[in-house]
């Protein structure tokens, strides 16, 4: 392998290790030494890949967000051409994809907050990207009412985030279908006459 291929391979091993450790025991509890042990690389090799735990967390969070954006956009694209059809498809795709792997849900909705200021920019980028999908793929339909679309999109994102935090932290998590039904209901009631 070339030096560049080795560096890429080490980065992937570290991202994989972070995916496991940042989800459990969590970002604050995970040391560089622990990441390196799981990835089977030296501490020196870590710093050839990332400047620290924060940069690794940002790379992992960005990857989770990008994969989720792709899944949601694809689902909305294939949905019925109605406001509720697209909204339900997007909500269902988001919640289903994020919860397919509990680690992803925990990283995107809990650990991102526990990481603190280092992920503020990454988190805001994710919120903007999901807001844009809602505004352009769901609200860009004739039956959209005059409500401020941007603020309504932010409300939906906040509601879904709180539902997923509950799911991650609950001793007896609610069924995924209940999360989806609740989020769709909130969205529908936002448009009720």
Read off the tokens for 33: 């030494």
In a domain, 179, yes or no: yes
Q: Residue 163: which domain range?
A: 53-190
In a domain, 42, yes or no: no
Query: Cβ distance 81 to 143 under 8 Å?
Result: no
In a domain, 115, yes or no: yes
Burial of 125 by CB count in 10 Å (0-12 exposed, 13-18 middle, 19+ buried)? middle
What is the value of pTM for the model shown? Answer: 0.90
In a domain, 136, yes or no: yes
In a domain, 7, yes or no: no
Question: What CATH number has the domain bearing residue 96?
Answer: 1.10.357.10
Q: How many domains does the chain have?
A: 1
Report d(CA 130, CA 65) in Å as an integer.
9
Spell out the per-residue pLDDT of the chain, length 193, in tens.
798 999 999 999 999 999 999 999 999 999 999 999 999 999 999 999 999 999 999 999 999 999 999 999 999 999 988 888 998 999 999 999 999 999 999 999 999 989 988 888 889 999 999 999 988 887 765 555 566 778 888 988 999 999 999 999 999 999 999 999 999 999 888 765 4
Residues 36-62 have pLDDT tens digits of: 999 999 999 999 999 999 999 999 999
Q: What is the pLDDT of residue 191?
A: 66
In a domain, 17, yes or no: no
Q: Which residue has the tokens 């990207």?
A: 129
Query: Cβ distance 95 to 71 under 8 Å?
Result: no
């Amino acid at each position: 392998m070339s030096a560049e291929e080795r560096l890429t391979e080490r980065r992937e091993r570290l991202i994989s290790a972070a995916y496991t450790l940042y989800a459990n025991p969590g970002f604050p509890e995970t040391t560089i030494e622990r990441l390196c042990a799981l990835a089977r690389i030296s501490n020196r090799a870590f710093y050839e890949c990332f400047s620290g735990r924060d940069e690794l967390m940002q790379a992992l969070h960005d990857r989770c967000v990008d994969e989720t954006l792709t899944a949601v956009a694809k689902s909305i694209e294939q949905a019925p051409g109605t406001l509720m059809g697209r909204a339900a498809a997007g909500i269902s795709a988001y919640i289903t994809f994020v919860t397919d792997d509990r680690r992803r849900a925990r990283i995107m909705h809990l650990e991102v907050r526990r990481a603190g200021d280092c992920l503020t920019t990454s988190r805001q980028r994710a919120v903007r990207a999901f807001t844009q999908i809602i505004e352009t793929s769901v609200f860009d339909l004739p039956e959209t009412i005059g409500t401020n679309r941007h603020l309504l999109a932010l409300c939906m994102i906040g509601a879904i985030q709180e539902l997923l935090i509950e799911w991650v932290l609950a001793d007896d998590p609610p069924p995924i279908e209940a999360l989806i039904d609740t989020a769709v209901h909130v969205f529908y009631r936002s448009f009720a006459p």
